[in-house]
Chains A and B, each alone.
Chain A
């Protein structure tokens, strides 16, 4: 009650502080959105796959792009687990538009059309619905290059022509946009490059089910999380950026603490009077924590709304990705650290000797 009365009375002062806090949290949330977006640009393609585990070759050391499992393994695996299976190949190449030499980076994700690995299209039709010879589903970033559904695009090294069947959203691997093609198309591609090509897969995805009993020579089951961790550079990048975000959270919360400490120093006499008239430390601490909570919670909520509002207005190519859960975690951490840093103020108040109020001069 006292906490709120004081904030209300000092509206101008506290609104300025609130503005500062809001901007700080906004900055933190926005950066963590960008950080997450950047991380997504590396692994979104894998993360979006609707699979719990992958079968990789032993020698791959959990790196999906260097793994290879033979076509026979598919059969072995299906007899050892009850989970639904689907083969996956990943290949980085270049794409060209017709009558244009400019090469566009692309990562092919080769899948069985209609399998659980196939993403939903946001425009056009799926691979299995397309009646083109070599259909491809492109990440929507390619739309910005002027490519449309029905266009023909060429693989730059083989000149195999694909027909754009549709577009999918948010599919990136290693900062490169993905194109989904069928395993058949992929085999044609590889055979064109190497006539001796024997069909093999990079990995076999397992949708769910029990994988405890799987025993296949030279191959092992790896969880999706482990695969993501082992995408080259992902862990290092992600750790650096996560570190920056947390340092910012701690610094901003410490700023609230310091601001509050300065305000407390200015009010030592008021606290002395309250102590003299018999207001206990419990209630005084309550006032401080109450005020810090109000300031921090309001700041977090306003900044949260601002961030999600901003995110909605951002252009597609901006790598911004923020889950509500992550945002809430950042806000909660912020509020918690603010409260902890307000303990310095409480400690300072506990040192105020009410005796100073008696016989002191009027100021």
Chain B
């Protein structure tokens, strides 16, 4: 059993909603191990995105702690968050969010730190993900699936500890969406990363190691698997 990389403990978050308070996350805890892909499903507005932004050091919880690889990052000051995200977290967004003015390979290399070049080889990732032909293409010349695969590669490029994916299949059709999640799974297993994927795409849940449902601020594990 691989060790726990991402540890979320007793996370609580509420928003001011008119006169009342809307409790989005109520004492939520989750552990993710290296090489494990966890999926979180739930109706829209259930707080999936909030959960991801807190895990991704973009938003601070009202209460609770976040530990990445033994480091309690939730204690650090906000101005250090960018650096924490840079070093520990790889994001895959709903839509690819590539920069329109960079060619495929540059999308990776221009954001990769020198020290990570030996650990993660950008051209190799293109081969692994089957998008070699996109190395010298601008995003406008690629298909949706290809762009999302480059986005996956970009998430891994600085050798992060955790991978957070926000609806990675939302802009793709069924078959392509499934391929993309397969790719994420492949890289997570190979590189021993802890991955959390928020999705409402029920067809790809079988690719996750564990599936949780977020509803009414509480996280419960699906039993069917």
**B-contacting residues of A (Cβ < 8 Å)?**
1-2, 5-6, 8-10, 269-270, 273-281, 353-355, 357-360, 362
List residues 157-213 of chain B with CB under 8 A from any CB of chain A.
158, 166-167, 170-171
Checking B59, B83, B89 against A355 with a beta-carbon cut-off of 8 angstroms, the contacting residue is B59
Sort A-B residue pairs by CB-CB distance and give the 3 closest, nearest first. Answer: A278-B86, A359-B49, A9-B101
Chain B residues closer than 8 Å to A357, beta-carbon distance? 91, 93, 97
Tell me whether A277 and B53 are in contact in the complex, defined as CB-CB below 8 angstroms, given that A1-B110, A5-B101, A359-B94 are known contacts. no
| A279: B residues at CB distance < 8 A | 82, 86, 111
Q: In angstroms, how far is the closest chain A Cβ from the Cβ of B77?
A: 14
- When distances are taken between beta carbons in the complex, the residues of chain B under 8 Å from A269 are 97
Asked if residues B52 and A359 are in contact (CB atoms below 8 Å), the reply is yes
B58 contacts A354, CB within 8 Å? yes
Q: A278 contacts B166, CB within 8 Å?
A: no
Q: Are A358 and B111 in contact (CB under 8 A)?
A: no
* B90 contact set on A, CB distance < 8 A: 277
Contacts of B87 in A (CB 8 A): 278
Bound complex: CA A354 to CA B106 (Å): 22
Whether B29 is near chain A, meaning CB under 8 Å from some CB there, is no
Task: Give Cα A10 to B140, complex, Å.
Answer: 13
Q: How far is the CA of A281 from the CA of B94 in the complex (A)?
A: 24
Chain B residue total in the interface (Cβ 8 A): 35
Give the shortest distance, in Å, between A281 (CB) and chain B (any CB): 8
- B residues neighboring A (CB under 8 Å): 48-49, 52-53, 56, 58-59, 82-87, 89-91, 93-95, 97, 99-102, 106, 110-111, 138, 154-155, 158, 166-167, 170-171
Residues of chain A lying within 8 A (CB to CB) of residue B82: 275, 278-281
A278 touches B101 (CB 8 A): no
Partner of B86, one of A270, A277, A358, A360: A277
Q: Tell me which residues across on chain A come within 8 A of B101, comparing CB atoms.
A: 5-6, 8-10
Contact B83 A358 (CB under 8 A): no
Give Cα A362 to B170, complex, Å: 9
Bound state CA distance, A281 and B167, in angstroms? 27
Q: Give 4 new A-B contacts, CB below 8 A, not counting A276-B58, A276-B91, A358-B58.
A: A6-B99, A278-B158, A357-B93, A359-B49
Which single member of A10, A274, A358 contacts B56 (CB below 8 Å)?
Answer: A358
Instruction: Assess the A273–B93 pair: CB atoms within 8 A.
Output: yes
* Contact A277-B94, Cβ < 8 Å, known A1-B110, A9-B138, A270-B99: no
Chain B residues contacting A270 (CB-CB under 8 Å) are 99-100
Q: A270-B99, A359-B166, A362-B94 are known contacts. Are A277 and B154 too (CB-CB below 8 A)?
A: yes
* Residues in chain B near residue A360, CB distance under 8 A: 94
A278 to B170, CA, bound (A): 23
A-B contact pairs, 27 of them (CB 8 A): A2-B99, A5-B110, A6-B99, A8-B101, A10-B101, A269-B97, A270-B100, A273-B97, A276-B85, A276-B91, A276-B93, A277-B91, A278-B82, A278-B86, A278-B158, A279-B82, A280-B86, A353-B58, A354-B58, A355-B53, A357-B91, A358-B53, A358-B166, A359-B53, A359-B166, A359-B167, A360-B94
Q: Which residues of A contact B83 (CB under 8 A)?
A: 278, 280
Chain B residues within 8 Å of A273, by CB: 93, 97, 99
- When distances are taken between beta carbons in the complex, the residues of chain A under 8 Å from B170 are 362
* Minimum C-beta distance from A163 to chain B (A): 72
Residue among B97, B111, B166, B171 facing the most chain A CB atoms (10 A cut-off): B97
Q: Taking the nearest CB of chain A, how far is it from the CB of B87, in angstroms?
A: 7
Q: Contact between B85 and A277 (Cβ–Cβ < 8 Å)?
A: yes
A297 to chain B, nearest CB (A): 20
CA distance A97 to B92 in the complex (A): 88
Complex Cα–Cα for A355 and B93 (A): 11
